[in-house]
Structure 1
């Protein structure tokens, strides 16, 4: 279930990735069944939000009757790992989307609105789209949706633990490269589950060598609980070249920042490679990672 429950939600766009062996993963939201708490008129049915048309005018949107706690729900044909949800706001009365909740899970209790919360939508400018990261999670007013896409994959696994981790330098025995793939997302550095390069190094890096070539859909990074700004502008690079320790491979994303002790997910769109690097360019840098999760499927074992 992908639910939206809000004061007023104008537009939502959800795309589900299902085939880890396809570089351009399809939007499977149209394969799901949409429903909503009520329907304002015959034009604004629930299916308008997953019809594949990202149009934010009224006739192309859903709309509930005026009610308490309205919701819209998408029932997918299977269990999916949802990495992100894009929300496109309506051009009129954009403030009505403020404080909408996106909820994802497998329970039908309370029409799906008791499932874990992916995000709260603080606001979106009129007619604009915002992306909300869901980190691989397995909705007396009106509610209007113009389109819904769920970015995710059909239970794609975290393949990072199957690889071998290394890093440019290691500060101490308790800060080894392997700590980032030990399955523990503990953000407290002094608990011994984070990596740490030597101080004041130029261009520090952390690298995961996978046992084959994988198509990577997303990478999640957990930041430490203090000195959180040290990760700012780190780059995620994916590919098959070992040149420059793998740091010359194509770039999936730049990490602008991650709040202290939080996890952020970056979409890589099915990039292929056996190296996944977190690379921090610049002089006098320190790179610390408390967990790195890599979601994808095997293209070829080596």
Structure 2
């Protein structure tokens, strides 16, 4: 069995990382430098803001490992040394489903000596190391990253039904057939004995279908115990496809002991596949092998394209408490999580701050949650571009802008809804802000989803909502094309909702009245903007007179 040890770092484990690696003297200081065993090189992610606090490295260890300690080597200055980090795991590949395993907040700065941290245990193939704070807020310079652990798995229980093919013709004696399945039945009084092949054939094989992909890292055999038929050398191969197979060598062994039937175990390899082939390439005397037992150490691997939990279609923000930096035009912050995506401000479904510097809004999810994506619905018609450049923040700090950001600054041109991928970040608070801008922050709906992104199926109500939007545009434009859309809306609404013509007419009139109310409210808002501009002009005039 494997015991825990410090794993030998492999730069190829790195599949993703934050920022753009620094380049100097023809050398790239990417995340792989933290795993190359050379402490004269380091990871230096550039082009991210100071106090970004979400510098990450995503690792694919190629197989599930159980980890219980982590070690880092800081650069040794207090500007770029890591102060706090967290380690996360995912049971599936991209899109990942990150779960926190451990958080550390006491990493020493000003030293490049190795620092080790334990007190946790987790098993996964995919891991993410996230720097949540450096001593001075600048990007981390990380010289070394190491893990203590062992490959996950156990000795698989042999199943004779795994045998899909084998060489030769099995010997039959006393009504018993000595086929390849005998090597997997757990009974060492029976054995595989392939006949009708020449001496020194050296290609006796067993093809196995494990029914699902498995990651294997050890193999065990029980020879018969004589030197005529005992295996001396073999190789293990894998194929990612069924027949016709595409065999790749995984391990070759040439030192199997003869004259003993005791179990012999061999490791030093790792491979993942559903289809495997055990090939005897030599016996001690050249005769066909008599194999009593064949075993494998490993673990079942996640199938390619495995989906994350179905929680991905649940809006975590719906009707949760919301707060914002200020409130104007009666735009309470809770409107952005009321389930109403209507983008017309007069419909009373959008939040609205005052005109101010760096406005922000946040929702409290109640506890730390995994956040895969945030969908933001902006205001339409007036102020469609006021949300340009907004940022999403996810973390456990109620001060929105102190949390890590996801997705960068967002462009809203030509979009009604903006989806921001947060990649499984975790936090209690999801915030939105307009950094370095003096502007209104208006949000007509904010939806927060955890888990894999699922395809949203439009309901009848969603379709009707879309039709209502078309009608509002028709009334606003008042041209022939839009009148045709209005007629189509009436016909579809009549068919889908079963309204009679009189009720439908009333519904259209209500929509027109609502549009008139919108226009009045928007006119008031424009008047407010005019007053604000006039005040600024007067202030400029006064300043000019003073000069």
TM-score range, shorter chain: 0.3 to 0.5
* TM-score normalised to structure 2 length: 0.27
- TM-score norm. by structure 1 comes to 0.47
Relative to total residues, which structure has the larger strand share, 1 or 2? 2
Q: Which has the higher contact order (CA 8 A, sep 6+)?
A: 1
